[in-house]
Structure 1
Amino acid sequence: MSMPGGGDAVPTGDGWFDTPRRYGRVSRGFHWLMAALFAWQFAGALLYVATGDNAVTRLVGGSHFTLGFTLFALVLLRGAWGLANLTRRPPHPGRLGRAAVAGHLLIYALMVIVPGIALLRQYGSGKPFTPYGILLMPGRDDKVAWMVAPGDLLHHWLAFTLLAVLVGHVAMAFLHRRFNGEDALSRMT
């Protein structure tokens, strides 16, 4: 795109696609929608851990299965969008940049694994799964123990690992600004 006077305009990231200076509308939309859904998901889980099974935890946690499925679908869409925009995204140079990339890869891995093993457990349980009233997994009489075991063993612990990594992710956005003078957060707002 040319500017008056013959110079080239620098994309600002205010469009749909990512640019080297800023994430585009779609990436920002995915990011903040998922942040809000994760906040609700973890609020329910933390309430349950702190107060046990009660009316409040049932209200907040009642959407846990459907919301987990939604987050799983969103992370797959977000990952595909991120790969399509990979060459346009803001760079992460140097040692700190490599650490940021590693941190993001860890977040994505956990965002796939945590609901993935929950879905495997759900299928193995033989219970039907109907998020949004859509039958995704019909019920059956038999239980498949090897499918249930990973979810029973790891879902809780990996979910709270994801929470810890997400808290670290938020903290790093503020630390980048405070200590490096780099306003990483503005690229996503």
Structure 2
Amino acid sequence: MTIPSTPILDTVDVYGRVTRWLHWSIALLLAWQFLGMGLKLIFGRQPFLAPLVGSHQPVGTVLFVLIVLRVIWAVVNRRNRPRHGNGLLGIAAVTGHGLLYLAMVMVPCVALLRAYGSERAFAPFGFEIFPARATEIGWMVDLGGLLHGELGWVLGALILGHVVMVGIHETMWRDGTLARMTRAGS
């Protein structure tokens, strides 16, 4: 038995290879970020957490690039993607995905705003993206500091809701929703 290969582009029946790669790469990196910040909340700033917590900025930078690519890719494929259904459930699914995308973009944007206004250079991989400022731009740092973590936890709640809905689709409705993002040729 041959398993059909997954197309590169999305189709009305299945998400393509690029969408899947972006989805699961972002999911793994977000899990890393939440693990690090969750452990930091539980244990505080402990030396054993330094490698995990210390990677937050570079991993966040990679996430931002992948999220921008994912948004662009979603727009390019918008007419070919699997549909979320009709009626109230379809509207809820579209709204939920829209909120996920919005939060995924907003969380790193407010972090970048904070970094741009900071007196410290922003150099997540050792090369400078934003230079150090002579004086801090207070409103940027304050706004970024106020919103980055809180929006991050909002994103976490949206992700949890997303996972719960996948579970409902798979266990109660048995409609193959998960297969469109996991199995080749589905």
What TM-score comes out, normalization by structure 2 length? Answer: 0.92
Letter in 1 for 2:56: H
- Structure 2, unpaired ranges of 5+: none
Contact 1:13 1:19 in 2 (8 A): no
Contact 1:19 1:90 in 2 (8 A): yes
Rg (Cα) greater in structure: 1
Q: Work out whether 1:88 is the aligned partner of 2:53.
A: no
Letter in 2 for 1:117: V
Partner of 2:128, secondary structure, is coil
Moved over 4 A (4+): none
Q: Work out whether 1:182 is the aligned partner of 2:184.
A: no
Pick aligned residue for 1:67 from 59, 72, 76? 59
RCO comparison, higher one (Cα < 8 Å, 6+): 2
Match of 1:129 in 2: 122
Pick aligned residue for 1:139 from 132, 139, 146? 132
Match of 2:33 in 1: 41
Query: Matched residues, percent identical?
Result: 43
Q: Work out whether 1:160 is the aligned partner of 2:138.
A: no
Tell me the CA shift for residue 55 of structure 1.
Answer: 1.7
Contact 2:118 2:137 in 1 (8 A): yes
RMSD: 1.2
Match of 2:166 in 1: 173
- Structure 1, unpaired ranges of 5+: 1-11
Report the Cα distance in structure 1 between the residues aligned to 2:33 and 2:148, rounded to whole angstroms.
13
Contact 2:103 2:155 in 1 (8 A): yes
Report the Cα distance in structure 2 between the residues aligned to 1:56 and 1:110, rounded to whole angstroms.
30
Partner of 1:148, secondary structure, is helix
Report the Cα distance in structure 2 between the residues aligned to 1:187 and 1:127, rounded to whole angstroms.
44
What TM-score comes out, normalization by structure 1 length? Answer: 0.91
Contact 1:18 1:85 in 2 (8 A): yes
Report the Cα distance in structure 2 between the residues aligned to 1:155 and 1:135, rounded to whole angstroms.
21
Report the Cα distance in structure 2 between the residues aligned to 1:155 and 1:108, rounded to whole angstroms.
15
